[in-house]
Copies of this chain bind each other. A is one copy, B any other.
Amino acid sequence: MPNANTDFSLYLVTDAPSRCRLGLLATVEAAIDGGVTLVQYRSTHPLKGAAYAEALALRQLLSSRSIPLIINNHADLALALDADGLHIGQHDLPPPVARRLLGKNKLLGLSINNHTQLAKTDFSLLDYIGIGPIFATQTKPDASPVVGLEHLAALVRQSPLPVVAIGGISSENATATRATGVAGLAVVSAICSAPNPAAAAALLRNR
């Protein structure tokens, strides 16, 4: 894959702007100052035009900082913004369809919750997988069952691709989560809701 050198180590997933104390762009910029290496835009707008406008502003910010942008779910937004990649869940576009739309030179990530999902994954279509929720989280009330660190470590051993852990990651559990062998930690509220997103990111980066 052309993106083999992508740094997944601190992967920020955006929250609703209303839940970012500093607003979306200022939060992301501070988080980059603190060490975030990649940003996934997860739209919370029901209207695609508003999501496009918001993601376009984020795209410009991230390009100026040389930070990759991944779009959650919406392949049309990823294509429209020439984003660096797309992240899909088990109920989004099927991975072969997403890969066909994106072409070979973009990152494609897939969310996985358990061994059954991992076993049926065609890794040749993907660049990384996201595993979660590792811990209980309030960000996605409809999330799948909690994975836990032991199960995460087993899944990481079985994955031929880099794994990003997501769901309830915080400075308290970051060291233990990294010890499972993941390529990165993905966070939403631990950075977006923090009074000081730069400091929160730096804390997660160093642990």
From DSSP, what is the main secondary structure of chain A's interface residues?
A: helix
Residue of B nearest to A97 (CB): B80
**Stretch of A32-40, A44-52, A143-151 contacting B (4+ beta carbons < 8 Å):** A44-52
Alpha-carbon distance between A18 and B11 when the two chains are bound, in angstroms: 40
Alpha-carbon distance between A92 and B45 when the two chains are bound, in angstroms: 11
Nearest CB in chain B: distance from A164 CB, A: 21
How many residues on chain A are close to B (CB under 8 Å)? Answer: 19
Q: Which 4 interchain pairs have the tightest Cβ spacing?
A: A75-B76, A76-B76, A47-B91, A49-B91
A–B pairs, 13, beta carbons within 8 Å = A47-B91, A47-B92, A48-B74, A49-B90, A50-B91, A52-B93, A52-B97, A74-B76, A76-B101, A79-B79, A79-B101, A80-B100, A80-B101
